[in-house]
Structure 1
């Protein structure tokens, strides 16, 4: 998709996202959006496109690191509960409790008993969230192996993106089929009427973002109305240039 076409459509969707956020705040609703998918599927870019124009006070991004020693002894869902939204808030999970059904299962970071318990408890946990009034949306960003390999190569070649490649990512390249089987089992156990999965084709990231955002907007009731225009009162006097007594405080102008 051409960048100019993408930007034109995205701009309109982002205005509607602002209206959606205003509706959440006005009505005191709580929204959780879960982003899952293979490595390099495009989760971070999708979240950035959604939040770019939003009021930073009204949303949070939860991208949790691996659990520490204390968290490993807690109820599995406990550290995720701490990030759930209050009234009027949106929380976007860049990976979530589904780590247990994906990377932990495939890489052997959890036992078979822990994995089976997760598959039994997860629908119950999500039912509790929904019954308490939280709207829960779950997205799986689908990407083919050839496209994933190309994105890995781009990250490896770009010094500004290499941080995105973790040792686990490199090992996981050899377990593509294992991740596919784990995904299918996860869908089978956790695709429910109260918290269904939504799969989005992300082989073309621009189209994927637009389709995901449009679907998100369709799921969250809002009137689409923008905030009323603000008329600024006239400025008294002439505009003044910023002055400081100590000129050495200024950052050197390099451009």
Structure 2
């Protein structure tokens, strides 16, 4: 039991009463707000479990059918990619999935075909590989910060769709998700990283400049979607200001991408259209913004 305003409430009663909204929490003390939020987070984590159980069924299907799956997690810094990946893999068989987060390329890798170090991480039959940032670094981070030449950028943009077409044609299921966070929410998350000793390791020099280069990232995002959103390898946009909604809907996207059997008929597998947006729809939104701002393509 927890005391709130002099009344003893059970965990279930508190979780039912307080849904982590500002209106409901305003009258609580700071200590009580922390308790209510902690219980709401616990409720959210519990609500993920039936879908995490489906991910285990999906993984079993991959093993039985020798199917390969690659999921790309792209987006701005602090967009919630890492937290979503942790929820996806929490209960999975570690022998049959890998999370790949490649660091800065070595001098030898810089001399190789650009895709080579990513191909080396591709799944074997029955394996699920999640890229926490991928070859799309060359379409997003590298051009903004000058880590690649204009010629390297253009060569990538011209070649990536054919590369992905071959990947899919040869039987790999490819899921491309872009986590879209607003500027204000990104700033709030950066501030927390600065002040929370448990999160300070997440803050990099690139993060510090991310807010200053917000429009640059928006520009390269538009160009990336325009040239790499295809029918064979489409982009799925995940609105990620609300971490919980981003996580559960990203899981639904993955479950819908794989034709595994024995689904739980009691679950809702339809993504929330306010959270999950097609790449084509996002392009329309971005193009309208550019026209309004007078930006030429």
TM-score range normalised by the length of the shorter chain: 0.7 to 0.9
Per-residue deviation, 1:68? 0.8
Corresponding residue to 1:23 among 61, 71, 76: 61
Q: Distance in 1 between matches of 2:44 and 2:114?
A: 39
Q: Distance in 1 between matches of 2:89 and 2:262?
A: 17
Unaligned 5+ runs, structure 1? 227-255
1:149 aligns with 2:168: no
Unaligned 5+ runs, structure 2? 1-19, 21-39, 265-297
Corresponding residue to 1:56 among 90, 94, 105: 94
* SS of equivalent residue, structure 1 residue 174: coil
1:208 aligns with 2:246: yes
Per-residue deviation, 1:7? 2.0
Question: Cα deviation per residue 1:141-162 (whole Å; 9 max; x = unaligned)?
Answer: 0100000000000111111111
1:68 aligns with 2:106: yes
TM-score, length of structure 2 as denominator length: 0.74
Could you tell me whether the CA contact under 8 Å between 2:64 and 2:126 is conserved in 1? yes
Per-residue deviation, 1:219? 1.3
Corresponding residue to 2:209 among 171, 177, 183: 171
Matches within 5 A, 1:5-154: 5-154=43-192
Q: Distance in 1 between matches of 2:79 and 2:121?
A: 23
Alpha-carbon RMSD across the aligned residues, in angstroms, is: 1.1
Which is further off, 46-55 or 8-17?
Answer: 8-17
Which is further off, 99-108 or 163-172?
Answer: 163-172
Q: Distance in 2 between matches of 1:31 and 1:188?
A: 24
Q: Distance in 1 between matches of 2:161 and 2:122?
A: 17
Per-residue deviation, 1:225? 5.8
Q: Identify the structure with bigger relative contact order (alpha carbons < 8 Å, sequence gap 6+).
A: 1
Per-residue deviation, 1:3? 2.0
TM-score, length of structure 1 as denominator length: 0.87
Per-residue deviation, 1:74? 0.5
1:220 aligns with 2:258: yes
Matches within 5 A, 1:234-245: none
Q: Distance in 1 between matches of 2:257 and 2:147?
A: 34
Per-residue deviation, 1:4? 3.9
